[in-house]
Structure formats: C-alpha cells, structure tokens
Amino acid sequence: MPSLWDAFKQYARDAAPGGALNPEVTPQGLLDTASLATSPVPVLGDMVGLLADVNRMRDPTERTWQNVGLLALGAVPFVPPMAGKLKKAAKFAPPPYQIAHRPMNVDGGAAQLFDAAKSFGDDVYGPNALQYFGSGDKREASVLKILRKVKGNPKAKVTIYRGIPDSVPHGINPGDWVTLDPRVAADYGRVVSMEVPASDVTTWADSLLEFGYFPTGGK
C-alpha cells in the first residue's frame, strides 16, 4: 500500500494544474487521496475516510437515508467507510476521471458546434476569425475549418478527441472536456476519439481548442 506522501505525489502528477487528469486540485480529491493512503491504519484511516464522506455529502442530492446509514457505519472504529471499501477494491486507482470543473453546456450559455455564431458571433465563420478569436496556437486553424464545414447542420459528423492517462480505461464520457484536434488531446495523455453529431458538442467564445461533449443535444 502506498504511503500518504506517495499518494499525494501521485495525485499531484495526475490532478494538479497541468496534470493528466484535472486542471485544478479539489478539496474532495485531496480528502479521497488521504482516505485511501491511510486506510490500512486503524482508527486514523476510519476518521479520514469519514471526513472525506462528510465532505462529499455537502451535495444535497447525496443526503439520502441510505447514504446517512452508510456514513454512520463508517464512523464505527475498524469499519471502513463505503468510499474506502471502493477505493481498496480499485487497488489505488487514480482520482475520479470526471471532475467538478466541467465544460459549459447549452443551458450554461454555450452554443452547439453547428451554430457557433451564437457564442462567437458571425465573424467566427469569416476570414478574420483567427485574428478575432485565436490565441496564436496554429492548431486553431484546423478547428475553424471544422466549424465552417458543420455550420447549420446539427447532424454533421465530427470527430472529438480527449487525452487520458494510460492507467484510465475509460473513453470519452458525457460531460467530458474534448477537442477537435488530436494534437491538442495528445498534450494531456493517450488520445481517444469518437465520432459524434455536431449537435452533441458545445462551444463558447473563450477558446477554439476546448469543447464539451453532451450527447443529449448539448445539455
């Protein structure tokens, strides 16, 4: 079993700013990592795991009678919290693949890929789009070509990409950050891809390289 220090070092590699999984470190992620690393230690592991579970239940949707019962069971010495049991079964799995900081969907103000003008304005399809919306990254030119190609066609097929660590078996999941250029995904790890309708990809004026995947029509 890894030491507490080793656990935090792995979390930093995977989840710290610029890491393979997360663009930001979250308190819940740190608590989960500490819970896993201390789980073999009697009493201490129980208490840290309990703290992680209590923090997680700040979300009102988690406050069910079933979860409260499991949480109470985890407070008994030498009875690990349910979250700890799941972590042990995963044999020190990486932090959760999806993160709290998620891409923008249509309800949050994003546009669907086939109608990028709703976020950028009509100039995103014009000859000066790179000048107006680009950041200087040469890869943005290929993305603008895709935006023009799928304009007005929600059923148009596009390939989305995501970079993930080799240790993560998942592909692309609803709510994931994605990109339209495989070179961008390669910056974050092993590249996985999927062909989807343009209506399932969301975009906003902040970036030409970051998009969201929402297979329910952008929501």
Four-point Cα dihedral 174, 35, 40, 88, nearest 10: -10
Among candidate residues 178, 109, 118, the one with its CA nearest the CA of residue 152: 118
Cα–Cα distance list, 53 to 84, 102, 137, 139, 184 (Å): 9, 22, 42, 42, 35
- For residue 105, give the nearest of 91, 123, 119 by alpha carbon: 119
- Distance separating alpha carbons of residues 30 and 75, to the nearest angstrom: 20
* Domain regions of the chain by residue span: 4-89, 106-213
Task: Examine the pLDDT at 11 and tell me if it is beyond 60.
Answer: no
Is the CB of residue 120 less than 8 Å from the CB of residue 133? Answer: yes
Please state the rounded mean pLDDT for residues 26-40: 58
Confirm whether pTM is higher than 0.85. Answer: no
Q: What is the pLDDT of residue 169?
A: 73
Q: Is the pLDDT of residue 72 over 90?
A: no
What's the average model confidence in pLDDT over 53-70? 54
Assess contact for 81 and 46: CB atoms under 8 A: yes
Confidence of residue 178 (pLDDT cuts 50, 70, 90): very high
Evaluate whether 118 touches 107 at the Cβ level (below 8 Å).
no
CA-only gyration radius of the chain, Å: 21
Average pLDDT in the 120-136 region?
94
Of residues 94, 96, 81, 88, the one with CA closest to residue 44: 81
